[in-house]
Amino acid sequence: MDLLPAFPLEADGHRKKLGGSGAPLGFVTQLKVVDQWQELEEEKSLYKTPSAACGYFAAVNALAFSQMKLPGTIESSKDLCRWTSALNWLARPDHVRLATADFMKDLMEEREKYANDCPENFPEPAARSKYISDWVANYEISDRLQRYAARI
């Protein structure tokens, strides 16, 4: 797992209001697992996605974390073990690639269905093609999370 430098989250105004200490509220870091520019070319071509896969990664990470039912804070060694296991799972390129390709496929199919069901919204073939290959929208990520939550 390649962890890039961690940076403390600063929220002095909030910390003072909440009566907290001067310690950081948490840390932000980045796991470098899959290079979105070079390692997903086959999937991007097959599922007609944009060149950047960051929206897909955000969705995959959010879904993975929601399925793992992790604690919101780390207060025990058990909590730390659960978070470490989750990060180790997400640090495996094979897991990330498979989950990302699944999301790409599902989203392409949903968009194609919408385009077929509502042809009046796509009077030109180029408009339909652009819609199908456009960036992942926040509502598409949240819709998927809501569908998942409804199943559990």
Would you state the pLDDT for residue 25? 52
Q: What's the rounded Cα separation, in Å, for the pair 73 and 4?
A: 21
More confident residue, 29 or 15: 29
Q: What's the rounded Cα separation, in Å, for the pair 129 and 55?
A: 18
Would you state the pLDDT for residue 28? 61
Would you state the pLDDT for residue 86? 84
Answer for the pair 58, 141: CB distance below 8 angstroms, yes or no: yes
pLDDT tens-place string over residues 94-135: 888 888 899 899 999 999 999 999 999 999 999 999 999 999
Answer for the pair 58, 90: CB distance below 8 angstroms, yes or no: no
The average pLDDT across 74-94 equals 84
DSSP 8-class letter at 124? S
pLDDT tens-place string over residues 40-60: 888 989 999 888 888 888 888
Q: What's the rounded Cα separation, in Å, for the pair 54 and 60?
A: 10
**One-letter amino acid for residue 105 of the chain:** K
Nearest to 96 by CA among 47, 151, 50, 53: 53
Would you state the pLDDT for residue 125? 95
Both tokens of 2, joined, read 């390649």
Provide the mean pLDDT of the chain. Answer: 79
